[in-house]
C-alpha cells in the first residue's frame, strides 16, 4: 500500500490561511480549521491506516508460517545443539554398526541386506542413468582380521520420501494448503545393499565398507544426514477438555508456555478426527470428539533467523511475501500470460540456479526430458486431472552456473509449481 499521499491537508490549509489579509479573520480561520478540519483529517488518516492494516492481515498468506526448509550435513559436522534444523530420521546421527551374524544369515538365504546410506552429488540426468542401468558394484568389507570382496547394488532411499508423503496428509489434517517440498537432497539419497560376499566369521567385526562406484566415485558421499526444520515433540492436553456448543466435540488446550512463541505447529495425529485447530493468545486449541486429555504428537515448524550456517545450501518452499501475491493465492487467479508465469517462479528466489526464459506448447512430449525432470508431488494420486491425452507445456530455463548438481532439481521444483496450476497440460522443464 502507498504510504505517502499527494494531497497534504495541513499544507493546503496553511497556504489558504496566508491568503487571508485580515488578521482577525485569519485567527478565526486558523482556530476553526485546527479544531475541526484538521482533527477530522487526522481521524480519517488514522482510520484509513487501521483499515489498511486489517486488510493486509486478513489477506496475508499463512503458508510461509509453515515453510519447510531442507539441507544436508555430514555426521562429523552435525550440530546437536542446532535449534533450527533437525535430522529427518533420528537414527541417522548414530554411528553405523554392522551385525556380522545378521549379514551371514541374510546371505545364507540369498537375501540382500542393507548396509549403509549414501548421498550422490550429481545431476538428475546422471541419477536417472544410475538408476536405469540396474547395475552392481564391486567393493570390500574390511574387518580387524582381513578384507573380503563383495558385490553391492544401489536403491533409492524411500524413507525420506515417505516422510514427505506423510507430511502431505498431516497438512490436510491441519487444514493447511499443501506446499510442495523441495526434495533436491533427499532425491539423491540411496541405500547400499550387499548382494554377495565370502563367509565372515561371527567373531569378526566389519570396520569399514568401501565400494567402487566407477564413474560416480567422485560424487558419492558417506554418512550424510538430511535435515529439515521440523522438530517432533509430544505434548499432553494441559487441562480438562471443554465441551463445545455442538455437544459432540471437545476443545483440547495446550498452554502457550509449553510451546515456542515464534513457531507454528502441525498436529501429527492423523488417526484422530480433528475438526478445528486454532491459536488463541499463544495457546494451541484442538477440537475433536475425544472427551479426555490425551497426548498429542506435534511437528514444531521452526523459523529461520538468517544467522544459521550450513555446509550445503538451505532449500525451501517459501515464497516472497507480497500483498498482491497473497490475493493471488487467496482467489487462485489463473495465469494467462508469460509475465505472470515468470512471476510465479521468481517468487521462490531460486534465480541463482535457473532463470525462466520461455515456454512452448507441443502436441507430444519431447524425447529425453524425462531424464532431467521429476514431479516433486508425484506421490499425490488423488488429484483431478483433465484426461490422459494432454498437450505438453515445455518450460525453458537458463542455468546460471552450467553443470551445477542442483540445477535440474530446482527446475523440477519450479515445474511442479506450474503443474499444479495447469492440470490440463503435462508440464516439463528444459535447460537451454
Note whether 400 and 376 are within 8 A (CB). Answer: no
**Half-sphere exposure (CA, 13 Å, Cβ side) for 20?**
14
Non-local CB neighbours of 349 within 8 Å, separated by 6+ positions: 318, 319, 320
- Domain ranges within the chain, ordered by starting residue: 9-59, 66-228, 230-301, 320-431
User: How distant, in Å, are the alpha carbons of 141, 186, 197, 432 from that of 100?
Assistant: 11, 29, 12, 50
pLDDT at 61 over 70: no
Q: Which residue has the cell 485580515?
A: 22
Highest mean pLDDT among 39-53, 186-200, 239-253, 399-413: 399-413
pLDDT at 277 over 70: yes
pLDDT digit string, tens, across residues 34-59: 767 777 877 888 888 887 766 655 55
pLDDT digit string, tens, across residues 390-411: 799 999 999 999 999 999 999 9
What is residue 60's predicted lDDT score, i.e. its pLDDT? 53
Q: Distance between CA 357 and CA 347 in Å, rounded? A: 15
What is residue 229's predicted lDDT score, i.e. its pLDDT? 96
pLDDT digit string, tens, across residues 323-382: 545 544 554 456 778 888 888 888 888 999 999 999 999 988 888 898 999 999 999 887
Q: Distance between CA 84 and CA 35 in Å, rounded? A: 54
Amino acid at each position: 500500500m502507498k504510504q505517502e499521499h499527494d494531497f497534504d491537508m495541513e499544507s493546503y490549509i496553511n497556504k489558504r490561511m496566508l491568503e487571508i489579509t485580515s488578521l482577525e479573520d485569519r485567527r478565526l480561520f486558523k482556530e476553526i480549521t485546527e479544531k475541526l478540519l484538521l482533527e477530522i483529517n487526522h481521524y480519517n488518516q488514522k482510520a484509513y491506516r487501521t483499515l489498511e492494516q486489517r486488510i493486509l492481515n486478513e489477506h496475508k498468506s499463512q503458508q510461509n508460517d509453515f515453510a519447510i526448509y531442507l539441507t544436508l550435513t555430514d555426521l562429523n559436522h552435525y550440530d546437536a545443539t542446532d535449534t533450527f534444523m533437525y535430522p529427518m530420521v533420528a537414527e541417522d546421527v548414530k554411528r553405523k554398526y554392522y551385525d556380522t551374524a545378521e549379514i551371514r544369515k541374510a546371505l545364507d538365504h540369498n537375501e540382500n541386506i542393507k548396509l549403509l546410506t549414501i548421498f550422490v552429488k550429481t545431476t538428475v540426468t546422471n541419477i536417472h542413468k544410475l538408476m536405469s542401468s540396474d547395475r552392481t558394484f564391486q567393493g570390500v568389507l574390511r574387518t580387524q582380521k582381513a578384507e573380503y570382496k563383495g558385490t553391492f547394488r544401489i536403491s533409492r532411499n524411500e524413507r525420506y520420501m515417505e516422510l514427505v508423503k506423510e507430511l502431505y496428509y498431516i497438512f490436510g489434517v491441519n487444514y493447511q494448503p499443501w506446499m510442495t517440498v523441495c526434495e533436491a537432497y533427499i532425491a539423491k539419497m540411496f541405500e547400499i545393499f550387499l548382494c554377495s560376499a565370502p563367509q565372515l566369521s561371527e567373531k569378526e567385526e566389519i570396520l569399514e565398507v568401501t565400494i567402487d562406484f566407477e564413474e560416480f566415485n567422485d560424487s558419492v558421499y558417506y554418512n550424510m544426514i538430511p535435515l529439515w526444520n521440523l522438530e517432533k515433540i509430544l505434548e499432553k492436553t494441559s487441562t480438562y477438555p471443554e465441551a463445545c456448543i455442538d455437544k459432540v466435540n471437545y476443545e483440547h488446550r495446550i498452554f502457550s508456555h509449553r510451546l515456542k512463541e515464534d513457531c507454528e505447529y502441525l498436529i501429527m495425529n492423523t488417526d484422530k478426527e480433528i475438526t478445528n485447530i486454532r491459536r488463541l493468545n499463544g495457546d494451541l486449541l484442538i477440537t475433536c470428539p475425544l472427551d479426555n486429555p490425551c497426548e498429542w504428537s506435534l511437528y514444531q515448524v521452526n523459523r529461520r533467523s538468517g544467522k544459521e550456517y550450513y555446509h550445503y545450501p538451505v532449500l525451501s518452499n517459501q515464497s516472497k511475501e507480497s500483498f498482491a501475491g497473497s490475493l493471488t493465492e487467496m482467489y487462485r487467479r489463473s495465469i494467462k500470460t508469460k509475465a505472470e508465469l515468470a512471476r510465479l517462479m521468481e517468487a521462490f528466489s531460486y534465480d541463482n540456479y535457473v532463470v525462466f526464459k520461455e515456454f512452448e506448447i507441443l502436441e507430444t512430449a519431447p524425447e529425453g526430458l524425462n531424464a532431467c525432470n521429476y514431479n516433486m508431488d508425484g506421490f499425490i494420486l488423488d488429484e483431478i486431472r483433465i484426461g490422459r491425452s494432454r498437450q505438453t507445456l515445455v518450460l525453458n530455463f537458463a542455468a546460471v552456473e552450467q553443470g551445477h548438481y542442483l540445477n535440474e532439481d530446482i527446475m523440477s521444483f519450479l515445474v511442479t509449481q506450474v503443474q499444479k496450476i495447469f492440470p490440463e497440460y503435462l508440464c516439463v522443464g528444459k535447460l537451454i
